[in-house]
Structure 1
Amino acid sequence: MSFPWANHYQPKHPFMQWLDSRLPLPRLVYNSVGAGYPVPRNINYWWNFGVLSGLALLIQIVTGIVLAMHFGANTLVAFDSVEHIMRDVNYGWLLRYAHANGASFFFIVVYIHIFRGLYYGSYKAPRELVWMLGVVILLLMMATGFMGYVLPWGQMSFWGATVITNLFSAIPVVGDKIVTLLLGGFAVDNATLNRFFSLHYLLPFVIAGVVILKIWSLHIPGSNNPTGIDVKGPADTLPFHPYFTTKDLFGAGVYLILFSVFVFFLPNYLGHPDNYIPANPISTPAHIVPEWYFWPFYAILRAFTVDFILPAKLWGVLAMFAAILLLFFLPWLDGSNVKSNRFKPVSKQLFWVLMLDLFILGLCGGKPAEEPWVRISQIASMYYFAHFLIILPIVSRIERPLPLPNSIAEAVLGKSEPAPATAAAQPAE
């Protein structure tokens, strides 16, 4: 979307004029995250989590690069190399704990970012592609997180890789070939560790590339806002800098404080103690679980226990992937003309029911595959798919929303106060 009232980059310093005429990088930054990018004036702190996701990705890339310098991608030394990093490398313990906990915090902020998009309808036109690129990032994060979980080569790493990769064998005809390709052989071994290390190192840079595409696609229609109303004029916006950069810096400060609490005081709270035991192919752990951020999908995977036309194992694999892939179709499943759940009372209640359902799925995914957890996960899985495939399409088309404000400025300032024009920023030096 073109904003005719946006501040345009006008360098005054001769060097900046010379640079802008040959490499317009300052112009790109100014128009993307500076005063040249108008943002709806009513954006709240829930919009901070997009920037926090970028910060989390940066922490993972920087710490991952340094850790890779000391990690041995060989089954004979992988576990010991992690201990070497913890004990002998200068600040290796800090790098390892920051990277391990950083993965959990990355998923936390991304999940909150997704839930905010669900609540405020950020997936609806004209931002469908922004949403779909976000789902692609989620899938890449899950692949990266799973492969990274294998690298320490502890008990849970080895058996988690064994269980998850064997799931693909349920796919007819090509399943066994896919498993062999993933493992580099017929069992989880040295070739598997090498493959996973290479891909775990590569995929964060792929994620960074998709993030750039997502930001690019977002800047065409502009940011959504809590009311879901389109920007109508300069009174509805403020420059991204300094108004929202200040808000993002505050959010980043709070994030880093909470992150530091876990890194320095609770470094193993989000991990599994069995991963401090070296991998042993002849000793199966009593309870094999993935990392906590996979638990809802793991519960869906285990919810299928009866063969019906297809094997239960295949149904579980299909359902696990479908639970994520159906998010691609959310812009068309939701038939409402109103974006934000602020003005849709029934949809707002259903959103919180969905959040409760996901919490229950996560709880079941972390429990042993026994009753009553299997039965609860079956009921919660049924509701998850019913919400997106039945309830949402019907309710979104029959619900009568509340009256919408005439503009963003009216929603913020009220009808009685005049809406000031957007503050003009000073030309760039």
Structure 2
Amino acid sequence: MSSPSTGSRVSNWIDHRLPIISFAREHLIEYPAPRNLNYWWNFGSLAGIALVLQIVTGIVLAMAYTAHTSLAFDSVERIMRDVNFGWLLRYAHANGASMFFIIVYIHIFRGLYYGSYKAPREILWWLGVIILLLMMATAFMGYVLPWGQMSFWGATVITNLFSAIPLVGESIVTWLWGGFSVDNPTLNRFFSLHYLLPFVIVGVVVLHLAALHTHGSNNPLGIDKKTKKDVIPFHPYYTIKDLFGLGVFLTFFAVFLFFAPNFFGEPDNYIPANPLVTPAHIVPEWYFLPFYAILRSVPSKLGGVLLMFAAIFVLFLLPWLDTSRVRSAKFRPVFKVFYLLLMIDILALGWAGGQPAEGVAVVIGQIATAWYFLHFLVLLPLLGWFERPRPLPESIASAVLGDRAMEKA
């Protein structure tokens, strides 16, 4: 920890009693980061910014929202029409959820490509998957709050899935509903949990960062830092890089926010909820579609639910399913091919999940589901045994600096 004599007398006095300044200096400024991090590493900080954006806009929206089945839809319309800049807050929150998932999915796929789940970062990876699960729960409950047609019927379909659980399923559904149908108690419960869970996510994010700083960041080469030449201070090198990434993200976000605010939405959700009229095609938000396709890939309700949860649970086992000693796909030519096939497979699942459960969409969903589990449970363990990786560089510095890395400091 840095000496307290490096700041003003006031900051030194505070830091001696509560070392937040030296903590920030150690973990945000002087933190030794691998010198070869590329722009795919920007998505970690972007995810944090997206989370803060969701919390801030959500708190302000809650001030004008009414969690009652008779008033919820109208209160959202009032926010859009009568609250100062309410339209901006509501669109920023709704589209911010999609942006958050885009960022986190890219962050996860970067981890899959560069082997960021391998030892000693298994718990770091677990915490990331837990964050994803909490995001899904938060987003689902938030989607119910406008109390439109898709909100109501989406809540009805998804909560009914728990009834497939033997013995306790019906009791769980009754508890989720707060009664015997999706009604006002359900909306109140979902609003309360939707408000609470983002702060739970913040707590898990803190643990995620603590685990990250324990063993340091992974890097595109997938090799550990060995000398001081392998690392550079986080500030100013990566703070500037993160700010550039933030600028690009905000531009991308602004395009949807101001020019296509309903791009990710469903038209049926602008119709007030009506328990007597079922929409022609009930579909969840786009970020749930791959899992929705897996759910529908088997005719058994219980089997679909188990497969859907297994699709996420398998990610917890990934550090042990991947038996290769090489982290980065840069040195794994065969793994690259299967990684690309996995991305295509998940896109196919997303497409299938957005189509009616009939015809070719069902077949594609079933094939894509089978390939998803085949990739993680069969191909990945076998690749570690049979693939011949390319040779790794001696160090990060030698790969980045070449001959200059061998010069004396």
TM-score (norm 1): 0.94
RMSD: 1.2
Secondary structure of the corresponding residue to residue 225 of structure 1 = coil
- 2:317 maps to 1:329: yes
The alpha carbon displacement at 1:11 in A equals: 2.6
Task: Give the structure with the larger helix fraction.
Answer: 2
Match of 1:320 in 2: 308
CA distance in 2, matches of 1:85, 1:420: 64
Amino acid at match of 1:250: F
Please list every run of 5 or more consecutive structure 1 residues that lacks an aligned counterpart in the other structure. Answer: 1-5, 306-311, 422-429
Distance 1:419 1:123, change over 3 A: farther
Q: Structure 2: which amino acid aligns with 1:42?
A: N
Q: Give the alignment partner of residue 202 of structure 1, picking from 196, 207, 210.
A: 196
Q: Is the Cα contact below 8 Å between 2:124 and 2:212 reproduced in 1?
A: yes
Shift of 1:414: 1.5
| Counterparts of residues 133-148 of structure 1 (less than 5 Å) | 133-148=127-142
The residue correspondences of 1:46-61 to structure 2 (distance < 5 A) are 46-61=40-55
| Native 8 Å contact 2:50 2:96 kept in 1 | yes
Q: What CA distance in whole angstroms lies between the structure 1 residues aligned with 2:138 and 2:265?
A: 16
Runs of 4+ in 1 over 2 A off after TM superposition: 6-12, 415-421
Of residues 8-17 and 375-384 in structure 1, the stretch that sits farther from structure 2 once superposed is 8-17
Q: Give yes or no for the alignment of 1:402 onto 2:396.
A: no
Match of 1:3 in 2: none
Q: What one-letter code is carried by the residue in structure 1 that aligns with 2:9?
A: P
One-letter code of the match for 1:320? Answer: M
Cα distance in 2 between the residues matched to 1:413 and 1:127? 27
Structure 1 residues 419 and 274, CA gap change in structure 2 (3 angstroms): farther
1:289 corresponds to which of 283, 300, 303:
283
Q: Deviations over 1:137-159 (max 9, x none)?
A: 00000000000000000000000
CA separation in 2, counterparts of 1:420 and 1:88?
Answer: 67
Question: Out of 162, 172, 175, which is 1:178 matched to?
Answer: 172
Match of 2:21 in 1: 26
* Aligned with 1:11 (options 6, 11, 22): 6
The alpha-carbon deviation at position 8 of structure 1 amounts to 6.7
SS of the counterpart of 1:39? strand
Alignment of 1:176-325 (within 5 A): 176-305=170-299, 312-325=300-313
Match of 1:338 in 2: 326
Structure 2 residue identity aligned to 1:352: L
Q: Percent identity?
A: 67
Any unmatched runs of 5+ in structure 2?
none
State the shift of 1:415 in Å.
Answer: 3.5
Paired with 1:20 and 1:200, the residues of 2 have a C-alpha distance of 36
* Residue deviations 1:331-376 (CA, integer Å, cap 9, x gap): 0111111100000100111111100000000010111111100011
Q: Give the Cα separation in 1 of the matches to 2:61 and 2:3.
A: 42
1:111 and 2:105 are equivalent in the alignment? yes
Contact 1:43–1:226 (8 Å) recurs in 2: yes
Aligned length: 409
The structure 2 residue matched to 1:413, chosen from 387, 398, 401, is: 401
Aligned to 2:362: 374
**Does the CA-based 8 Å contact 1:235-1:420 persist in structure 2?**
no
For 2:407 and 2:306, locate their aligned partners in 1 and report how far apart those are by CA, in whole Å: 52
What letter is aligned with 1:249? L
Contact 2:2–2:22 under 8 Å retained in 1: no
Determine helix, strand or coil for the equivalent of 2:33. Answer: strand
Give 1:32 deviation, angstroms. 1.4
Shift of residue 397, structure 1, vs aligned partner: 2.1
Deviates more, 1:78-87 or 1:411-420: 411-420
Superposed, 1:50-89 pairs within 5 Å as 50-89=44-83
2:232 is paired with a residue whose SS is strand
For 2:323 and 2:369, how far apart are their aligned partners in 1?
Answer: 23
Letter in 1 for 2:329: N
Matched, 1:95 2:89: yes
Contact kept? 1:71, 1:81, Cα under 8 Å: yes
Deviations 1:95-142 (A, max 9, x none): 000000000000000000000000000000011110000000000000
- Equivalent position amino acid for 1:29 in 2: A
User: 1:424 matched to which residue of 2?
Assistant: none
Question: Which AA in structure 2 matches 1:226?
Answer: P
Alpha-carbon displacement from aligned partner over 1:225-259 (angstroms, at most 9, x marks no partner): 00001000110000000000000000001101110
TM-score, normalised to structure 2, is: 0.98
Q: Per-residue deviation at 1:16? A: 1.6
* Cα deviation, residue 15, structure 1: 1.2
Q: Aligned partners of 2:86 and 2:385: how far apart in 1?
A: 55
Q: Is the 1:185–1:191 Cα contact (8 Å) retained in structure 2?
A: yes
For 1:90 and 1:14, the matched residues in 2 are separated by 44
Cα distance in 2 for residues equivalent to 1:82 and 1:65: 14
State the AA in 2 paired with 1:83.
E
Q: Which amino acid aligns with 2:344?
A: L
C-alpha distance in 1, partners of 2:193/2:282? 23
Please give the alpha-carbon distance, in whole angstroms, between the structure 1 residues aligned to 2:386 and 2:31: 37
- Please tell me whether the aligned partners of residues 144 and 187 of structure 2 are also in contact (alpha carbons under 8 angstroms): yes
Q: For residues 147 and 420 of structure 1, do their structure 2 counterparts lie closer, same or farther at Cα, with a shift above 3 Å needed?
A: farther
For 2:235 and 2:32, how far apart are their aligned partners in 1?
9
User: Paired residue for 2:34?
Assistant: 40
The separation in 2 between residues aligned to 1:151 and 1:178, in whole angstroms, is 20
Question: In structure 1, what is the Cα distance between the partners aligned to 2:230 and 2:366?
Answer: 46
